[in-house]
């Protein structure tokens, strides 16, 4: 037998191990790609109108594109109309033929009651039949941000904004049995709670996770449960960890890239793949008396699965009542403010 130096043996073994590891990662990724799933149905959605909040980018954009490809009409409810029109241009370029009027941009800023109310009025006036409302818009931030009504944005935009929107559309949604899709996240299962004492306030929980975001995604699930109990045709889902603009507020350090890249590469799906869960919720009949938000079921990987979270009925109703109160309080404050502003200007006018 020829003599082989131990360095050679070691480097051959090292190369073998590295190839094995790389091969396993690639195989795992292929397995995940299969597991994440795709919507198989392709029936036409002609004549059906969908409203998608936050449709200009990320999952909302991918959902809009997929639905319009199936001949749906989509109201793109976006806080910035320039971005909405740019997204429409992009869809036209990517799809080629899109029926005239199939994409309707409308302004909706979920961080402003005034904008939500004016959007709801305009929608009721211009869209007589609504097939589906997708409450997709959402965000996660690292430094304090507040809505126009002074609620911190995870509560204010991710929950309260869509709560008010649905309230304003409720007659139509119930009468037409419009599908209401709530985009939650599996983060509702991790370190999430509904902190009623601090609801709407910016709180530092001293966790490495963004607890305010996780809490808001738990609110989404509780909210979907309560909607279901109140007779809405509601579907709740998690799109999975997706490569979208969602992480725009995170500034990873260089070593984060080094350490986490392989994990992220394994876990991160494309916006198009994550949107499959929204498309599934918006188009397929998957909610049953056994599997629905009240029994803890939600859509994940394009099928129904049960949440690990233990929901309770008291929190469901309490969140609903607290949301009604949060809207009433903000409205009362704004009336007070406008009264005091108008009496100040009357005083000023008398003085001059
Ligand atoms: N990406 C993920 O890994 C992931 C995982 C689980 C759940 N989700 C959920 O999926 C949903 C969509 O996220 P994404 O990944 O598509 O994020 P994204 O790429 O950041 O898109 C979010 C959309 O929401 C809009 N938006 C933010 N604040 C708004 C406001 N005040 N009023 C109206 N629209 C507003 C954004 O508008 P601008 O472009 O103008 O900012 C954008 O269109 C969110 O609810 C998120 O919580 C995402």
Residue 77: C-alpha distances to residues 47, 198, 216, 288 (Å): 19, 29, 20, 29
Confidence category of residue 352, pLDDT binned at 50, 70, 90: low
pLDDT at 3: 56
What is the overall mean pLDDT for the chain?
A: 92
pLDDT at 9 over 80: no
**Ligand 1 pocket test: which of 58, 63, 110, 300 has the largest number of ligand atoms within 8 Å of its C-beta?**
58
State if residue 136 touches ligand 1 by the CB under 6 angstroms criterion.
yes
State if residue 111 touches ligand 1 by the CB under 6 angstroms criterion.
yes
**Residue 263's CB: how many other CB atoms inside 10 A?**
10
Query: Which numbered atom of ligand 1 lies nearest the CA of 220?
Result: 45
Q: How far is the CA of 5 from the centre of ligand 1 (A)?
A: 58
With beta carbons less than 8 A apart as the criterion, state whether 74 and 80 touch.
no
Q: How far is the CA of 138 from the centre of ligand 1 (A)?
A: 4
Question: Whose CA is closest to atom 44 on ligand 1?
Answer: 138
pLDDT in tens, 134-144: 999 999 999 99
**Ligand 1 pocket test: which of 36, 246, 272 has the largest number of ligand atoms within 8 Å of its C-beta?**
246
HEC letters along the chain: CCCCCHHHHHHHHHHHHHHHHHHHHHHHHHHHHHHHCCCCCCCCCCCCEEEEECCCCHHHHHHHHHHHHCCCEEEEEECCHHHHHHHHHHHHHHHCCCCCCCEEEEECCCCCHHHHHHHHHHHHHHCCCCCEEEECCCCCCCCCCECCCCCEHHHHHHHHHHHHHHHHHHHHHHHCCCEEEEECCHHHHCCCCCCHHHCCCCCCCCCCCCHHHHHHHHHHHHHHHHHHHCCCEEEEECCCCEECHHHHHCCCCHHHHHHHHHHHHHHCEEHHHHHHHHHHHHHCCCCCCCCCHHHCEEEECCEEEECCCCCCHHHHHHHHHHHHHHHHHHHHHHHHHHHHHHHHHHHHHHHC
Between strands 233-237 and 269-270, the pairing is unpaired
pLDDT at 350: 72
pTM (predicted TM-score): 0.91
Beta carbons within 8 Å of 123's beta carbon, 6+ residues apart: 51, 75, 106, 130, 169
More confident residue, 179 or 255: 179
pLDDT mean over 213-229: 98
pLDDT in tens, 278-328: 999 999 989 999 999 999 999 999 999 999 999 999 999 999 999 999 999
With beta carbons less than 8 A apart as the criterion, state whether 93 and 82 touch.
no
State if residue 137 touches ligand 1 by the CB under 6 angstroms criterion.
yes
The whole-angstrom distance between residue 139's C-alpha and the CA centroid of its chain comes to 8
pLDDT in tens, 222-252: 999 999 999 999 999 999 999 999 988 887 7
pLDDT in tens, 37-70: 999 999 999 999 999 999 999 999 999 999 999 9
Confidence category of residue 339, pLDDT binned at 50, 70, 90: confident
Between strands 103-107 and 233-237, the pairing is unpaired
Q: How far is the CA of 26 from the centre of ligand 1 (A)?
A: 29
pLDDT at 272 over 60: yes
pLDDT at 194 over 90: yes
Q: What CA–CA distance (Å, rounded) separates 71 from 131?
A: 13
Question: Whose CA is closest to atom 37 on ligand 1?
Answer: 54
Active site residues: 213
State if residue 54 touches ligand 1 by the CB under 6 angstroms criterion.
yes
Confidence category of residue 338, pLDDT binned at 50, 70, 90: confident
Beta carbons within 8 Å of 74's beta carbon, 6+ residues apart: 49, 50, 51, 52, 55, 64, 67, 68, 102, 103, 104
Confidence category of residue 253, pLDDT binned at 50, 70, 90: confident
Q: What CA–CA distance (Å, rounded) separates 68 from 55?
A: 12
CATH number of 42-320: 3.40.50.720
Q: Is the dihedral of CA 55, 56, 60, 62 positive or negative?
A: positive
């Amino acid at each position: 037998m020829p003599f082989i130096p131990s360095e050679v043996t070691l480097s051959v073994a090292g190369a073998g191990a590295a190839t094995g590891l790389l091969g396993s990662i690639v195989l795992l990724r292929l397995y995940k790609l299969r597991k994440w799933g795709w919507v198989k149905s392709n029936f036409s959605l002609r004549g059906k109108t969908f409203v998608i909040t936050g449709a200009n980018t990320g999952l909302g954009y991918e959902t809009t594109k997929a639905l319009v490809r199936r001949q749906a009409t989509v109201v793109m409810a976006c806080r910035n109309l320039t971005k909405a029109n740019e997204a429409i241009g992009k869809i036209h370029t990517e799809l080629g033929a899109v029926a005239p009027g199939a994409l309707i941009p409308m302004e909706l800023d979920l961080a402003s009651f005034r904008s939500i109310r004016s959007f709801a009025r305009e929608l009721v006036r211009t869209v007589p039949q609504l097939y589906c409302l997708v409450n997709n818009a959402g965000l996660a931030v690292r430094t304090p941000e507040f809505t126009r009504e002074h609620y911190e944005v995870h509560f204010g935009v991710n929950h309260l904004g869509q709560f008010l929107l649905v309230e304003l559309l409720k007659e139509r949604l119930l009468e037409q049995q419009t599908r209401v899709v709530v985009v939650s996240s599996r983060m509702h299962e991790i370190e999430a709670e509904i902190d009623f004492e601090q609801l709407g306030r910016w709180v530092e929980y001293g966790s490495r996770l963004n607890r305010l975001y996780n809490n808001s995604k738990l609110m989404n699930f509780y909210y979907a449960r309560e909607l279901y109990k109140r007779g809405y045709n509601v579907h709740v889902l998690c799109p999975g960890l997706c490569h979208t603009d969602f992480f725009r507020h995170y500034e990873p350090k260089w070593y984060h890239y080094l350490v986490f890249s392989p994990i992220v590469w394994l876990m991160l799906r494309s916006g198009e793949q994550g949107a499959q869960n929204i498309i599934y919720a918006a188009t397929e009949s998957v909610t049953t008396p056994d599997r629905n938000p009240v029994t803890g079921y939600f859509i994940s990987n394009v099928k129904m699965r049960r949440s690990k979270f233990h929901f309770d009925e008291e929190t469901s109703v309490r969140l609903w009542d607290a949301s009604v109160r949060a809207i009433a309080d903000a409205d009362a404050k704004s009336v007070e403010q406008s009264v005091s502003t108008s009496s100040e200007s009357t005083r000023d006018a008398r003085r001059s």
